[in-house]
């Protein structure tokens, strides 16, 4: 099982971090040791003073595929979820300054809390609302219509380079509003009006 993430997929998030708009989807990976499930608490690491939340819609791949044409990507998943791409922003800034990979800032233990998955059903995947609350206050609110690369394009693009396998999870990018967390915070994520996760930072 792989965790494949897409960076810089929402224009306003790109702008809030002062990044350049990419020509192609930015792909990075997280190991399975980054997963947090079942509302397990996230333990704030002592190596960073700037862990940021980034809420994202998730796709779970249901069958193996490579070089998938965009029109066929709907056949490769039938479940969606919600997750957080925790980022050590201080370490990411250091890596970016030196042109180094981001993994040190993205792939640490517990950096990928995920919700349960729900059926895709007849949802319009280009018009899904999702949000994140920190201590009961909404801090992020997005809609998949704002993606630079919609979900079908993401799956097709990834599959050109990386064989997708059953159970792989794709993080599809975060909207604006990212920010730091602190010990004692409670984070709750919503897909439309359904609460998908609710856990504590310790």
In tens, the pLDDT along 92-112 reads 999 988 989 989 999 999 999
> 2-50 pLDDT, tens per residue?
999 998 898 777 677 677 778 899 999 999 999 999 999 999 999 999 9
91 contacts 101 by C-beta, under 8 angstroms: no
- pLDDT at position 15, please? 75
Are 82 and 189 a contacting pair, CB within 8 Å?
Answer: yes
Position 106 scores a pLDDT of 97
Reported pTM: 0.96
Q: Mind listing the pLDDT tens digit for each residue in 163-191?
A: 999 999 999 999 999 999 999 999 999 99
Pick the CATH number of 3-200 from 3.90.850.10, 3.40.50.300, 3.40.50.1700, 3.40.190.10: 3.90.850.10
Question: pLDDT value at position 96?
Answer: 86
Query: For the chain, which residues make up each domain, given as ranges?
Result: 3-200
Rounded percentage of the chain residues whose pLDDT exceeds 70: 99
């Amino acid at each position: 099982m792989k965790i494949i993430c897409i960076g810089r997929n929402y224009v306003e998030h790109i702008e809030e971090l002062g990044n350049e708009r990419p020509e192609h989807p930015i792909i990075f990976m997280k190991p399975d040791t980054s997963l947090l499930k079942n509302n397990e608490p996230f333990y704030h690491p002592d190596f960073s003073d700037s862990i940021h939340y980034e809420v994202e819609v998730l796709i779970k791949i249901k069958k193996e595929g490579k070089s998938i044409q965009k029109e066929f990507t709907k056949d490769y998943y039938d479940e969606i979820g919600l997750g957080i791409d925790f980022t050590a922003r201080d370490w990411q800034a250091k890596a970016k300054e030196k042109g180094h990979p981001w993994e040190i800032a993205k792939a640490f233990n517990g950096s990928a809390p995920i919700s349960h998955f729900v059926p895709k059903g007849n949802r319009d995947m280009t018009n899904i609302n999702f949000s994140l609350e920190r201590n009961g206050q909404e801090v992020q609110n997005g809609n998949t219509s704002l993606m630079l690369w919609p979900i079908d394009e993401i799956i097709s693009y990834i599959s050109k380079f990386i064989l997708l396998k059953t159970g792989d999870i794709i993080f599809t990018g975060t909207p604006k509003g990212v920010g730091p967390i602190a010990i004692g915070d409670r984070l709750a994520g919503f897909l439309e009006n359904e609460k998908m996760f609710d856990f504590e930072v310790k």
